[in-house]
Amino acid sequence: MTTELLQQVRVIDPVSGTDQVADVLIAHGTIQAVAPQITDISSDTQVRDCRGLILGTGLVDLYSHSGEPGFEERETLLSFLQAAAAGGFTRVSILPDTSPAIDNPALVAQLQKMRGGNPSSLSLPHLHIWGAITLDVAGKQMTELADLAAAGVVGFTDGLPLDNLGLVRRLLEYVQALGKPVAFWPCDRLLQSNGVMREGADALRYGLPPVPVSAETTAIASLIELVANIGTPIHIMRVSTARSVELIATAKAQGLPITASTTWMHLLLDTKSVKSYNTSLHLEPPLGNTSDMKALREAVREGVVDAIAIDHAAYTYEEKVQAFAEAPPGAIGLELALPLLWQHLVATGEFTGLQLWQALSTKPADCLQEKVSKIAPHQQAELTLFNPEKTWTVDRKNLHTLSSNTPWLGQELKGRVVQTWC
C-alpha cells in the first residue's frame, strides 16, 4: 500500500476535540505520525500539498435506504456504497425496508456477502445493516430479534411508524437483553392523514395537504413515557419540529436514555422551499417551518439532537415525475450533504467545523454504540479528505448514485470530498 504524506492539512478531530494544521503520514492503512512538520520520510512516500484541505475522521451515516434488493433500478448496493465513499462516509447503515425486508438472518448474511465479495470492497465504506422490528416491516408481528442480533445487525428499526404501542412496549422489554440500539420514527399516521407538507401559512399558500406538528410530537411523547416506565435506551429518528426538540430536551434533562437525530435537509431547507413544487422536496417527515429549522440547528449545536443522518432515498426519474403529493417521499444525499452543510452552516459561521464533524462522525457512531478512532499515531486510517473550495455541478455524470432526485440537480456547489480511507 502507498505511503502518503499530507502536508499542512487542516486536521479536524472530533474525538480529541482539536482543529489544527499539521502534517499527517499514512502508511499501510495506519496513521504513522501527526506533527507540525514531518521531514523523516522514505523515498517512495507520496507527498501531497494539502493546504486549504480538511482531514477529518470518517463520516458515519445512521440510516439510509438501499434500493437492492428489490429496487435495483433505483440503487444497487454497490452504487450506494460508492456514493457514500464519494461523500466522505466510511460507515453507512441501511434500513430494512427493502424487498424482501431485512427481517431474517439469511438476508442479513446475503447482504454481508455481497458487500464482502465486491472486488472494490477495500475502498468502500463499512456496511451496517438495521434489522426489522416486525415481519415485512408491516408493524404487526415481531421478528426473531435474537436471531437477527446473532446474524450481526447493528440494531433494530422498521424505519416506519409503529402504531401499536403494546407491541412497542413488548419490544422495549425484550430488546434490553440483546444490548443493541433500537430506533423509532415517531409519527401518528392518523394525525398525518394525507398530509405532505408541514402545517402553517406556507402550506395554505401552496395549497398542499398539511401535516400537523402533533403527528410527530404525540408519538414522541408516547415513546418517552414508555422509556420512562421501562428504561430501555432508544434512538428517535427524523426529528423535524421545534416542539419535538423541547420534548427531547426535557426527557434528557430527566436522565432518560434517549438519543436523537434529524436529517441534513431539515437543517438546510424549510417550507418556503416547497414553492417550487420540486418533488425531491417531498420528504417524510416534511420540511419544517423556519422556526423548526432554526430550533433543529440550535439543538444539533447544543447536543439535544445528537446526530445528523442522511436518510438517502434514491428514486427513478419516472417515479418522481408526478404531482408533488403523489410522488414517493425522499431524496438522495450521500454525495451532497457534507458540501452543502459546510457551505451553509460552517462557512457562514453558524457552526464550527468541529461541531459539524462531530454531528456527522463521532455522535452518529455513539448512537450505534460504536467508537471512532482519533487522528493520532498508531490509529487506523478511517479518514475523509475534503476540499471546501472545490466547485462542481450536480448532474448525472458527476454522481455515483444511480438516481438524481435532489433539488440541487443542475446547480453548482462549493466543496467536495477528495478521498476517503475506509
**Looking at the predicted structure, is the pLDDT value of residue 119 above 90?**
no
Alpha helices in 142-235 (DSSP H): 145-151, 165-175, 189-192, 201-206, 214-230
Question: What span, in angstroms and rounded, lies between the C-alpha atoms of 241 and 226?
Answer: 21
Contact 129, 111 (CB under 8 A): yes
119: three-class secondary structure by DSSP:
coil
Mean pLDDT of 2-25: 97
- Each residue of 267-322: pLDDT tens digit? 999 999 999 999 999 999 999 999 999 999 999 999 999 999 999 999 999 999 99
User: pLDDT class for 123, splitting at 50, 70, 90?
Assistant: confident
- Amino acid 250: pLDDT: 98
Contact 196, 286 (CB under 8 A): yes
- Amino acid 124: pLDDT: 94
User: pLDDT class for 120, splitting at 50, 70, 90?
Assistant: low
- Amino acid 115: pLDDT: 83
**Looking at the predicted structure, is the pLDDT value of residue 121 above 60?**
no
- Amino acid 400: pLDDT: 97
Q: How many other C-beta atoms lie within 10 A of the C-beta of residue 145?
A: 20
Phi-psi region of 370 (alpha: psi -120 to 50; beta: other; left: phi over 0): beta
Write the DSSP symbol of residue 98. S
CA dihedral sign, ordered 223, 143, 307, 337: negative
Write the DSSP symbol of residue 328. P
Q: What are the residues facing 20 on neighbouring strands?
A: 11
Max Cα-Cα span within the chain:
67
Q: Which residues have C-beta within 8 Å of that of residue 127, sequence separation ≥ 6? A: 77, 81, 92, 93, 94, 111, 112, 115
Map 250-282 to HEC letters: HHHHCCCCEEEEEEHHHHHCCHHHHHHCCHHHC
- Each residue of 182-226: pLDDT tens digit? 999 999 999 999 999 999 999 999 999 999 999 999 999 999 999
User: pLDDT class for 1, splitting at 50, 70, 90?
Assistant: low
Show the cell assigned to 403: 438516481
Catalogue the active-site residues: 311
- Amino acid 2: pLDDT: 83
- C-alpha distances out from residue 181 to 97, 192, 321, 367, Å: 17, 27, 37, 7
Residue-range domains of the chain with CATH:
1-52 (2.30.40.10), 58-367 (3.20.20.140)
**361: closest CA among 376, 335, 382, 344?**
382
Residue 208 burial by Cβ neighbours in a 10 Å radius (0-12, 13-18, 19+):
buried
Q: What are the residues facing 34 on neighbouring strands?
A: 24
pTM for the whole thing? Answer: 0.97
Show the cell assigned to 285: 417527515
E strand spans, 197-331: 197-198, 210-211, 234-236, 258-263, 307-309
Q: Which residue has the cell 466522505?
A: 88
Q: What is the DSSP string of 352-396?
A: -HHHHHHHHTHHHHHHTT-----SSTTSB--EEEEEEEEEEE-SG
- Each residue of 69-89: pLDDT tens digit? 999 999 999 999 999 999 999
Mean pLDDT of 102-119: 88
Kind plus residue range of the DSSP H or E element containing 155: strand 155-156
Q: Which residue has the cell 427513478?
A: 316
Mean pLDDT of the chain: 96
